[in-house]
């Protein structure tokens, strides 16, 4: 198949394999065809325009976030406390206040497999919703693992390889993070071991298959391989598990071998940092479209998805730029941002991790078996929690039936089956679009379509057969679970 060069700007051509390419009418004002917004659907950047640095929002915060604490001494955690689990370069990124941190050439080289990802003007969805809003989505499902998680997986695998680590162990909820890390480890010749939340392990067998295709070893969590898992299974052999439990199992394995490190797919500062390639690209792509968002929306499980798309825009606002609403969407059955406590809590169920300053439901919280497995985490990242506490961002909780309904409407209009996690963002997009319609205003909405749902078909089957239900979190259960959080 021939490659046809299409010049997008003065910096050089982008080659596309005989498929429609979306142009900005601002770049070609003489072409009336390109001015018709019904044809302006996708915006790409050429390789020279993709980010060369990660954006660090810590440089622009008006107040400093509270530090993580050692669970024994209650003193701020230092590099020596984290060194058994993470390479030193990631530890430096965790505490850095530099606004930009260079992306290694070796990491950018792997990024070129799929970055830039497209920014899409969802004109068909706009028509389906009959809204005055302009809706854009950043589609991260084009990555090799099918989600945004690949952005940090590649970076973490690289830094571990540079430090001489032979193996990485981790947890995964829905399987997107496990898929991403197994792919990244394959690129740098590392072993990969994954503890997958049992509820998702049973629901999504093809996620396990693709992880194994990339060379990973996958276990259901809780498992009999760790003391944490054995203790829990003794109490409840049918336990569905949680991300907190899977983290505990992975950490227990990692600390037993000096050549093995642990990697986290969300929550920590360096993970959120790596995801900002999403929002940085979106800034340039929206400039091509001649627009700027009024609201930026993404799901929030631990925080990397939301931070990736929102932090570059929030950072501009904090530096005195345009105001933007940034809305984090969580499942109503795991509502740490909207019903949790802002305080110090463990990041895992067994208490192996430092105490993190975050909105939490309590590290013992076991969410119901909702299909958005990537959102089944009891806490939110320290940076997202800080921004919410400072009222720089917003949070909403939405029930899963509303989310899946939005997902089906989106699939019919735009042709992409979104991951269950991404449908939470869509549900909020629909609410925003309806508000714009009712008021008659033009509202520019940007959301992160963080991944495709091709391995989540059992969830859609259950929804279409009427087997799914909304979960109402009992107030007494909530009170008990948050009792262990030290409120700030």
For 255-266, what is each residue's pLDDT tens digit?
999 999 999 999
- Cα–Cα dist 420/403, whole Å: 8
Please report which confidence band the pLDDT of residue 367 belongs to, taking 50, 70 and 90 as the band edges.
confident
Ranges in the chain annotated CATH 3.40.50.1100: 85-96+148-269, 119-146+276-487
pLDDT at site 375: 81
Please report which confidence band the pLDDT of residue 293 belongs to, taking 50, 70 and 90 as the band edges.
very high
The answer to whether 70 and 81 are in contact (CB under 8 A) is: yes
pLDDT at site 368: 72
pLDDT at site 370: 62
Q: Is the pLDDT of residue 234 over 50?
A: yes
- Cα–Cα dist 33/373, whole Å: 43
Q: Which residues pair with 379 in a beta bridge?
A: 360
- Cα–Cα dist 196/206, whole Å: 13
- Cα–Cα dist 370/393, whole Å: 25
The answer to whether 135 and 433 are in contact (CB under 8 A) is: yes
Q: Which range among 88-92, 170-174, 269-273, 394-398 shows the weakest confidence by mean pLDDT?
A: 170-174
Three-class SS of residue 261? strand
Q: Which residue has the tokens 């959080």?
A: 485
- Cα–Cα dist 293/324, whole Å: 7
pLDDT at site 25: 42
Average pLDDT of 430-446?
96
Helical segments of 137-225, H only: 150-162, 176-188, 198-203, 205-213
Q: Is the pLDDT of residue 455 over 80?
A: yes
pLDDT at site 125: 97
Q: What HEC string does 278-300 produce?
A: HHHHHHHHHHHHCCCCCEEEEEC
CATH 3.40.50.1100 at 119-146+276-487, yes or no: yes
Q: How many CA atoms lie within 13 A of 295 on its CB side?
A: 23
Please report which confidence band the pLDDT of residue 29 belongs to, taking 50, 70 and 90 as the band edges.
very low
Contacts (Cβ under 8 Å, ≥6 apart) of 23: 8, 34, 40
Q: Is the pLDDT of residue 372 over 70?
A: no
How far, CA to CA in Å, does 138 sit from each of 286, 416, 425?
10, 12, 12
pLDDT at site 4: 45
pLDDT at site 50: 95
Q: Is the pLDDT of residue 21 over 70?
A: no
**pLDDT tens column, 103-147:** 999 999 999 999 999 999 999 999 999 999 999 999 999 999 999
pLDDT at site 282: 98
Contacts (Cβ under 8 Å, ≥6 apart) of 261: 85, 86, 87, 160, 163, 165, 167, 168, 169, 254
457-464 vs 400-414: helix axis angle to the nearest 10? 110
Q: For residue 147, which of 415, 448, 468 has the smallest C-alpha distance?
A: 448
Q: Is the pLDDT of residue 473 over 90?
A: no
Q: Give the sheet arrangement for strand 486-487, strand by strand.
A: 355-360, 341-346, 486-487
- Cα–Cα dist 94/396, whole Å: 27
Three-class SS of residue 360? strand
Contacts (Cβ under 8 Å, ≥6 apart) of 460: 404, 407, 408, 417, 453
Average pLDDT, the chain: 90
Give the pairing of strands 100-102 and 53-55. antiparallel
How long, in residues, is the chain? Answer: 488
Query: Between residues 145 and 376, which one has the greater pLDDT?
Result: 145
The answer to whether 263 and 87 are in contact (CB under 8 A) is: no
Percent of the chain with pLDDT over 70: 91
Please report which confidence band the pLDDT of residue 39 belongs to, taking 50, 70 and 90 as the band edges.
low
Three-class SS of residue 461? helix
Give the pairing of strands 53-55 and 42-43. unpaired
Where is 109: in which H helix or E strand? helix 105-111
Q: How many CA atoms lie within 13 A of 436 on its CB side?
A: 21
∠ CA(43), CA(298), CA(93), 5° rounding?
90
Q: Is the pLDDT of residue 23 over 60?
A: no
Question: For the chain, percent helix, then strand, then coil, each to nearest 5?
Answer: 40, 20, 40
Average pLDDT of 402-431?
97
pLDDT at site 203: 84
Q: Is the pLDDT of residue 89 over 60?
A: yes
**pLDDT tens column, 147-192:** 999 999 999 999 999 999 999 999 998 889 999 999 999 999 999 9
CATH 3.40.50.1100 at 85-96+148-269, yes or no: yes
- pTM for the predicted model, two decimal places: 0.90
């Amino acid at each position: 198949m021939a490659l046809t060069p299409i010049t997008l700007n003065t910096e050089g051509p982008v080659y596309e394999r005989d498929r429609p390419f979306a142009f900005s009418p601002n770049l070609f004002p003489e072409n009336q065809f390109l001015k018709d917004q019904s044809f302006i659907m996708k915006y790409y950047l050429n390789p020279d325009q993709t980010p060369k640095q990660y954006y660090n929002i810590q440089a622009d915060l008006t107040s400093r976030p509270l530090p993580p604490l050692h669970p024994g001494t209650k003193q701020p955690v230092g590099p020596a406390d984290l060194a058994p689990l993470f390479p030193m370069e990631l530890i430096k990124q965790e505490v850095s206040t530099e606004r930009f941190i260079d992306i290694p050439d070796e990491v950018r080289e792997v990024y070129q497999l799929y970055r830039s990802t497209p920014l899409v003007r969802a004109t068909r969805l706009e028509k389906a919703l009959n809204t005055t809003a302009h809706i854009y989505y950043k589609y991260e499902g084009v990555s090799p693992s099918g989600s945004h998680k690949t952005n940090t997986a590649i970076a973490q695998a690289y830094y571990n390889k540079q430090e001489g680590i032979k193996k990485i162990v981790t947890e995964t909820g829905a399987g997107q993070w496990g898929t991403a890390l197994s792919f990244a480890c394959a690129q740098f010749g590392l072993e990969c071991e994954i503890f997958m939340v049992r509820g998702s392990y049973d629901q999504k067998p093809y996620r396990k298959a693709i992880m194994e295709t990339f060379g990973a070893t996958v276990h259901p969590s809780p498992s009999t391989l760790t003391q944490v898992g054995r203790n829990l299974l003794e109490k409840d052999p049918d336990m569905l598990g949680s991300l907190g439990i899977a983290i505990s199992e992975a950490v227990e394995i990692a600390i037993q071998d000096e050549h093995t490190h642990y990697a986290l797919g969300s929550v920590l500062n360096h993970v959120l940092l790596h995801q900002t390639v999403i929002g940085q690209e979106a800034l340039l792509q929206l400039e091509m479209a001649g627009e700027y968002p009024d609201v930026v929306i993404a799901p929030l499980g631990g925080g990397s998805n939301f931070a990736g798309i929102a932090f570059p825009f929030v950072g501009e606002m904090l530096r005195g730029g345009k105001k933007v609403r940034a809305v984090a969407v969580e499942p109503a059955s795991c509502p740490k941002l909207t019903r949790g406590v802002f305080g110090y809590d463990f990041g895992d169920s067994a208490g192996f991790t430092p105490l993190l300053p975050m909105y939490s439901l309590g590290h013992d919280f076991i969410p119901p078996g909702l299909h958005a497995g990537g959102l089944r985490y009891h806490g939110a990242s320290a940076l997202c929690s800080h921004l919410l506490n400072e009222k720089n961002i917003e949070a909403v909780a939405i029930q899963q039936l509303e989310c899946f309904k939005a997902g089906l409407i989106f699939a019919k209009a735009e042709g992409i089956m979104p991951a269950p996690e991404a449908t939470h963002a869509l549900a909020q997009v629909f609410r925003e679009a309806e508000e714009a319609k009712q008021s008659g205003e033009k509202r520019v909405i940007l959301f992160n379509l963080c991944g495709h749902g091709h391995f989540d078909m059992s969830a859609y089957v259950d929804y279409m057969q009427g087997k799914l239900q909304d979960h109402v979190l009992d107030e007494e259960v909530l009170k008990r679970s948050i009792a262990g959080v030290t409120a700030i």
